[in-house]
Structure 1
Amino acid sequence: MKLQTRIPQIKATCPIDYDSRVFVVGSCFSENIGKKLAHFKFRSFQNPLGILFHPVAIENLITRAVQNSHYSDKDIFLMNARWQTFEAHSSMGEVSKEQLLRRLDQNVRATRLQLEQATHVIITLGTAWVYTHVASQQIVANCHKVPQKEFSKELLSVDTIVDSLKNIVNQVHGLNDRAKFIFTVSPVRHLKDGFVENQRSKAHLITAVHEVIENENINSAVYFPSYELLMDELRDYRFYDSDMVHPSTLAIDYVWERFKLAWISPSVFSVMDEIDTIQKGLGHRPFHGDSEAHLNFKKLLQTKIEKLRQSYPFMNFEG
């Protein structure tokens, strides 16, 4: 009996392994993938300016990184006792403008370094709806609770998204022509825009990504169907969190498993299993931390870590 529609997936010809360097950027679903990569100790770098929901915001980050562009006083503002920039998520805010400028520049420099070394760039697009700050005519990454009257709202056209994605790919390849791109559209529904408006937005993103992949002769870019996996394979509200918008932990684990089967090299599955065992052990909270049994458990765990680091010295299990 068949109880589920299955989306066919093609195995990657250049899968991720422990020699890979993965750059992850985009909407909040990219955080889920990034956390999984970090959990299994892949060399990954995630959302240096926080969550970025739309392609223009991601393009702005890549452009700054490639051009080594520094932030200045004109790029930041004070809101609710914290300094912010329209180019980053609110989580980047700082109490002093010097701290914010320093943090932004550090993260952009780190972005350039990561892009120069990246074997895989994963970009998750969340929405095609954008807000333009009327006074500056800047499309913002985040409104930071600035009054709504100071912005105009529009839906990016497919052509605009295509141009933005092509610019991202071309700029990265100017630094590193070996990088492979994995595009995906977030299954998180932006219902504050409206139900129909959310579907229009996702349609624009999906259409634009496939136009870039199929019509621009960019052989290094592919599409991973995270949106379709939740919409078509997991068609049930039990796969959503309590807000009925974000994927549940079970759904995230399911999509990760599908990503793993398509994009992670089977040669490292056993290493991932060993790392998962270690991570669960490190997360264990004993009733009697000074017992002999627990001390022996910790010693065995440390032995496993040291053995693993002999093959993968970059792995850090502290903190």
Structure 2
Amino acid sequence: MPKFRTSEKITKAKISIHHRQQILLMGSCFAQNIGERLMQHKFSILSNPFGILYNPISIQEGLKLLLDGKKITADALFYHNDLWQSFQHHSQFSNPNKQIALTQINESLLNGSALLQKTNRIILTFGTAHVFVYK
């Protein structure tokens, strides 16, 4: 009887992750879901310190901000649809109160920056190659 599937022998990966490592995940909702699974299994992780980001340029800019370890200032925020927002962050950081939005963003930046300094593994996932630019 013919097989109605493709069989593939999967070899063991050359790198692995374990519970003694610090893991940073950034990117699409796939990174978010993998991060949740790793957290359920008691891995030391930080998932999406900017919220969900889909394209490589946004992820690169986020990594640069984490490497710099600096806070953002209130003038980096903009007001739209009754919410204070950041172009570098997912809408989960948006808030009607400017100070609360800024505090949440900067706490996440500081946590992400601290973890990045001691991380052993970085997992990046891309949802698209398209980049939208505000002009």
Cα distance change, pair 95–44 in 1 and its aligned pair in 2 (3 A): same
What CA distance in whole angstroms lies between the structure 2 residues aligned with 1:2 and 1:93? 51
From the two aligned structures, give the one with the greater helix fraction: 1
> Residue by residue, what CA displacement relative to the aligned partner does 1:248-302 show, whole Å, maximum 9, x if unpaired?
xxxxxxxxxxxxxxxxxxxxxxxxxxxxxxxxxxxxxxxxxxxxxxxxxxxxxxx
Q: Is the 8 A contact 1:23 1:45 kept in 2?
A: yes
**Which residue of structure 2 aligns with residue 118 of structure 1?**
119
Q: Is the 8 A contact 1:27 1:52 kept in 2?
A: yes
Q: Structure 1 counterpart of 2:110, which letter?
A: R
Q: Which piece of structure 1 moves more, 45-54 or 16-25?
A: 16-25
TM-score, structure 1 length as denominator?
0.40
**Which residue of structure 2 aligns with residue 31 of structure 1?**
32
**Which residue of structure 2 aligns with residue 11 of structure 1?**
12
**Which residue of structure 2 aligns with residue 82 of structure 1?**
83
**Which residue of structure 2 aligns with residue 98 of structure 1?**
99
1:52, CA displacement in angstroms?
0.4
Q: Structure 2 counterpart of 1:112, which letter?
A: S
1:255-294 correspondence runs (5 A): none
- The 3-state SS of whatever aligns with 1:129 is coil
1:66, CA displacement in angstroms?
0.9
- The 3-state SS of whatever aligns with 2:35 is helix
Q: Structure 2 counterpart of 1:125, which letter?
A: F
1:55, CA displacement in angstroms?
0.8
Cα distance change, pair 101–11 in 1 and its aligned pair in 2 (3 A): same
- The 3-state SS of whatever aligns with 1:22 is strand
Cα distance change, pair 71–114 in 1 and its aligned pair in 2 (3 A): same
What CA distance in whole angstroms lies between the structure 2 residues aligned with 1:28 and 1:7? 27
**Which residue of structure 2 aligns with residue 46 of structure 1?**
47
User: Structure 1: where are the runs of 5+ without partners?
Assistant: 135-319
Q: Structure 2 counterpart of 1:91, which letter?
A: Q
1:104, CA displacement in angstroms?
1.2
**Which residue of structure 2 aligns with residue 314 of structure 1?**
none
Larger-gyration structure (1/2)? 1
User: Structure 2: where are the runs of 5+ without partners?
Assistant: none
**Which residue of structure 2 aligns with residue 261 of structure 1?**
none
1:224-263 correspondence runs (5 A): none
What CA distance in whole angstroms lies between the structure 2 residues aligned with 1:19 and 1:41? 10
Cα distance change, pair 5–50 in 1 and its aligned pair in 2 (3 A): same
Cα distance change, pair 126–70 in 1 and its aligned pair in 2 (3 A): same
Q: Is the 8 A contact 2:71 2:110 kept in 1?
A: no
> Residue by residue, what CA displacement relative to the aligned partner does 1:187-211 show, whole Å, maximum 9, x if unpaired?
xxxxxxxxxxxxxxxxxxxxxxxxx
TM-score, structure 2 length as denominator?
0.90
Cα distance change, pair 21–9 in 1 and its aligned pair in 2 (3 A): farther
What CA distance in whole angstroms lies between the structure 2 residues aligned with 1:99 and 1:91? 12
What CA distance in whole angstroms lies between the structure 2 residues aligned with 1:117 and 1:3? 46
> Residue by residue, what CA displacement relative to the aligned partner does 1:113-150 show, whole Å, maximum 9, x if unpaired?
1111211110001101111111xxxxxxxxxxxxxxxx
1:8, CA displacement in angstroms?
5.0
What CA distance in whole angstroms lies between the structure 1 residues aligned with 2:123 and 2:109? 17
